[in-house]
Structure 1
Amino acid sequence: MASGLRDVTAYLLVLLVIATLGPLQFGFHLAELNAPEDVITCRAKAALSTLAKAVSYIKGDASSASSAVPIDCIEMTRSDFAAISAIFTVGGLFGALTAGPFTSSRGRRRAMQVTAAFFLLGSIVETFAASVTVMIIGRLLTGVGAGASTVIVPLYISEVAPPSRRGFFGAFTQISINVGILLTQTLGYFLSHDGAWRWILGSGIIISIAQALGLFIIPESPAWTASTKGDMVRARRVLQRIRGNHANLDEEVEAWGEGNGKVLSEEESLLAGGGTASSDAIGTPLSPQLSQRTERATLGFSQVLRDSHTRPAIIAVVGIMFAQQLCGINSIIMYSVSLLKDLVSTNSALLTIIISVINLGTTIAASPLPDKLGRKTCLLASIIGQGTSSLVLALSIQFELKILSALAVLFFVAFFATGLGPVPFILASELVGPEAVGATQSWALGANYVATFLVAYLFPIVNDALNNALGGAGWVYFIFAGFALVFAGFIARNVPETRGKKDADEVWGRTRRVD
Structure 2
Amino acid sequence: MGTDTLTYFPTRSRSRARIAYLFGALGGILFGYDSGVIAGALLFIRKDMVLSAQLQGMVVGGLLLGAMVGAFGTGRFAERFGPRKMLIAAGSMFIVTSILSALAPNPLSLIVARVLIGITIGVSTVQVPLYLAEISPKHTRGGLSSLNQLAIATGILISYVVCYLLSAHGQWRWMLGLAAVPSIFLTIGMIFQPDSPRWLVRQGRVQEARRVLEITNTPEDAAEALREIEGTNKVGSKVRLVDVLKSRALRPTVIAVFGLAVLQQALGINTIVYYAPTILRAAGFGESTALLNSVGLGVLSIIMTIFAARVVDRIGRRPLLIGGSVVMGLSMATLGCVFHFGGPATAMGSVVAVGALAVFKAAFSFSWGPLVWVMMPELLPMRIRARTMSAAAFSMFVMNFIVASTFPVLLEMGVESAFGTFSVCCFGATLFAIYCLRETAGLSLEEIEKGAC
Shorter-chain TM-score range: 0.7 to 0.9
Q: Is the aligned partner of 1:375 residue 2:381?
A: no
Aligned partner of residue 120 in structure 1, secondary structure: helix
Check 1:157–1:180 CA distance in 2 against 1; reply closer, same or farther (3 A cut): same
User: Does residue 454 in structure 1 map to residue 429 in structure 2?
Assistant: no
SS at match of 2:373: helix
C-alpha distance 441-215 of structure 1, shift in aligned 2 (>3 A) = closer
Query: Is contact 1:39–1:193 with CA below 8 Å preserved after alignment?
Result: no
Shift, 1:236, TM fit: 7.2
CA distance in 1, matches of 2:109, 2:352: 40
1:178 — aligned with what?
153
**Contact persistence 2:20–2:194 (CA under 8 A):** no
Shift of 1:430: 4.7
Paired AA for residue 74 in structure 2: A
Decide whether the 8 Å contact of 1:115 with 1:149 is kept in 2: yes
Superposed displacement of residue 124, structure 1: 0.9
Instruction: Give the counterpart of 2:25 among 17, 20, 27.
Output: 20
Corresponding position of 1:339: 279
Partner secondary structure for residue 221 of structure 1: coil
Structure 2 letter corresponding to 1:286: E
8 Å Cα contact 1:188-1:349 kept in structure 2: yes
Alignment deviations for residues 362-402 of structure 1 (CA, whole Å, 9 cap, x no partner):
01102244433333322221111111000111112334111
Give, in angstroms, the shift of residue 227 of structure 1: 4.2
Partner of 2:264: 324
Give aligned pairs, total.
Answer: 432
Change (3 A) 1:230 1:194: same
**What pairs up with 1:65-84 in 2 under 5 angstroms?**
73-84=48-59
CA distance in 2, matches of 1:500, 1:159: 14
Distance 1:494 1:40, change over 3 A: same
Kept after mapping to 2: 8 A contact 1:310/1:436:
no
> Which sections of structure 1, spanning at least 5 residues, go unmatched?
43-72, 256-282, 468-472, 508-512
- Does the CA-based 8 Å contact 1:129-1:135 persist in structure 2? yes
Computing the radius of gyration from Cα coordinates, the structure with the larger value is: 1
Counterpart residue type for residue 8 of structure 1: R
Distance in 2, Cα, partners of 1:166 & 1:475: 39
Aligned partner (choices 192, 195, 214) of residue 221 of structure 1 = 195
1:212-251 superposed matches below 5 A:
212-216=187-191, 218-221=192-195, 223=197, 227=201, 249=219
Question: SS where residue 352 of structure 1 aligns?
Answer: helix
Aligned to 2:292: 350
Instruction: Give CA-to-partner distance per residue, 1:15-46, whole Å, 9 cap, x none.
Output: 4444433211010001111012121111xxxx
C-alpha displacement of 1:351: 0.9
Q: Are the aligned partners of 1:294 and 1:434 in contact in 2 as well (CA < 8 Å)?
A: no
Alignment partner, residue 414 of structure 1: 362
Say whether residues 1:486 and 2:434 are aligned partners: no
**Maintained 8 Å contact 2:94/2:117:** yes
Q: Does the Cα contact within 8 Å between 2:69 and 2:394 map onto a contact in 1?
A: no
Query: Which structure ranks higher in relative contact order (CA pairs < 8 Å, sequence separation ≥ 6)?
Result: 2
Deviates more, 1:454-463 or 1:480-489: 480-489
CA distance in 2, matches of 1:158, 1:86: 29
The alpha-carbon distance between structure 1 residues 296 and 123, as it changes in their structure 2 partners (threshold 3 A), is closer
Residues 488 and 172 from structure 1, CA distance in 2 versus in 1: closer, same or farther, beyond 3 angstroms? closer
In structure 2, the partner of 1:112 is 87
Residue 327 of structure 2 corresponds to which residue in structure 1?
Answer: 385
SS in 2 for 1:302: helix
8 Å contact kept, 1:18–1:214:
yes
Task: Decide which moves more: 364-373 or 138-147.
Answer: 364-373
Aligned residue number for residue 36 of structure 1: 41
The one-letter code of the counterpart of 1:178 is: A
> Is 1:8–2:14 an aligned residue pair?
yes
Q: How does 1:185-334 map to 2 (within 5 A)?
A: 185-216=160-191, 218-221=192-195, 223=197, 227=201, 249=219, 252=222, 284-286=226-228, 291=232, 295=235, 297-334=237-274
Deviates more, 1:155-164 or 1:100-109: 155-164
Distance 1:229 1:476, change over 3 A: closer
Q: Return the TM-score normalized by structure 1.
A: 0.74
Secondary structure class of the residue paired with 1:308: coil
1:463 positional shift: 2.3
CA distance, structure 2, for counterparts of residue 380 and residue 350 of structure 1? 31
> C-alpha separation between the residues in 2 aligned to 1:431 and 1:156?
15
- Give the letter for the 1:36 counterpart: A
What is the CA distance between 1:74 and its match in structure 2? 1.9
Distance 1:41 1:106, change over 3 A: same
CA shift for structure 1 position 250: 7.0
What is the percentage of aligned positions where both structures have the same residue?
25
Task: Tell me, in whole angstroms, the C-alpha distance in 2 between the residues paired with 1:80 and 1:130.
Answer: 15
RMSD after superposition = 3.2
Offset of 1:231 from its aligned partner? Answer: 6.5
- Of 420-429 and 33-42, deviating more is 420-429
* Corresponding position of 1:427: 375
Deviations 1:468-490 (A, max 9, x none): xxxxx544211211222333334
Pick closer, same or farther for the CA change 1:14–1:335 going to 2, 3 Å: same
Counterpart-to-counterpart distance in 2, 1:190 and 1:29: 17
Instruction: Give 1:83 deviation, angstroms.
Output: 1.1
Residue aligned with 1:88, SS: helix
Higher helix share: 2
